[in-house]
Amino acid sequence: MEGSEQLPDVFVRRGEVVALRLFDIAYSIDLGAAEALCAAHSNARSNRGRLSQTPEKAIAFGDPPVILPLEPVRLDIEGRETTVAATVRLYDFGAIAISLRFAVESRSWAGFEGLVGAIQTSVGPASSSDIWRRLLDQAMPVIESALTRPSPATLQEDYLIATVLELGEPISAVELQRRVDLSALLSGETRALSTGEKRELLKQSYSYFDNDLVVLTWDRAFIYEPEGNTDVADVLEVANAQLLELRYYDELLDAELPRMYDQVEIARRGISSLAASRFAQLARSLYTLVAEVTEVTEKVDNALQVTEDVYLARIYSSALELFRVSKLSAAVYRKLAIVRDTYIALYEEASSSRGELLEFAIIVLILIEILLGIARL
């Protein structure tokens, strides 16, 4: 809060804090099979994710994720045991998003800010809590048979969303920003930030009506939404899932390129007649890699289809830009192009080697024919 004007305290009557942890768990997930498995599970009901307020023709999931409620968990927050709702969402490109939802009731703004900090300390990336692994272990047996080529889930993303649904008095988004310091909540810093840093931190701020507000940062978001619309939070989860998957394939290709160069060198060694076969075999494996990565990255790119909702589309685009998803996507496609060019070159080398072998065989046959002719004389 800037200036010396004394403003009334802001009271949060109702809200929630959502802690997200996303894992890459497989090459892909059969969402139809996962939905059936979740429904058949004795204590679980599943459904497909939908944006709550936005018409499907305006913005919708490419293939809606499957939602699986988990058993509530009890966590020590601010020195007392708190019951927290837990939910899983499954995305067809192999990502799983686990949410912990902390209900907020009747808190001062300072108390709300303190709760956000306590949750980050308790379940954030720097905490020693194993709650995320326990929830993942709870979900995996239910959905395991729906996974294609499961992976060990070592790659993770996390995000925190602080939402205010109702204040002690109706106030506008502009008034809210005058009366509270959102930069403290979003940065997690206890010391006051500089004016320039505050301005940078709050740069990604959006409002549609005069009484709603969304502020995005790299690892946190603040949402003021008196109508209870959850679409923004859902869109932020999708953007994080896309970031996770593109990180996975960027790292996969980073590891694959040096190995590919080594395999090409090995294939070039030895007898040229065997090199053609090696080139063809290596080219086929690289072609398979390109096809698989392209298939999944296209699913990632089309995870959310935006057509008419300009406001939500702006938030979604800003989140993708903030998370550097487009740069990661460009890096993945650039590395895919290198692999693609390599397998094309290998096929050409294989064809050339086969051509040389055929020419040699023809020359040998001609020589044999000449020698046999001389022998008959």
263: its two tokens: 């395999």
| pLDDT given for residue 268 in this prediction | 62
pLDDT, average across residues 272-276:
52
Residue 304: helix, strand or coil by DSSP? strand
- Over residues 193-222, the pLDDT tens digits come to 899 999 999 999 999 999 999 999 999 999
Number of residues in the chain: 377
Residues 333, 338: Cα–Cα separation, whole Å: 9
Residues 163, 87: Cα–Cα separation, whole Å: 17
Residue 170: helix, strand or coil by DSSP? coil
**pTM of the entire predicted model:** 0.84
| pLDDT given for residue 1 in this prediction | 45
- Over residues 7-21, the pLDDT tens digits come to 568 999 999 999 999
User: pLDDT category, 3, cuts 50, 70, 90?
Assistant: very low
Give residues with Cβ within 8 angstroms of 146, minimum separation 6. Answer: 29, 30, 31, 33, 34, 37, 90
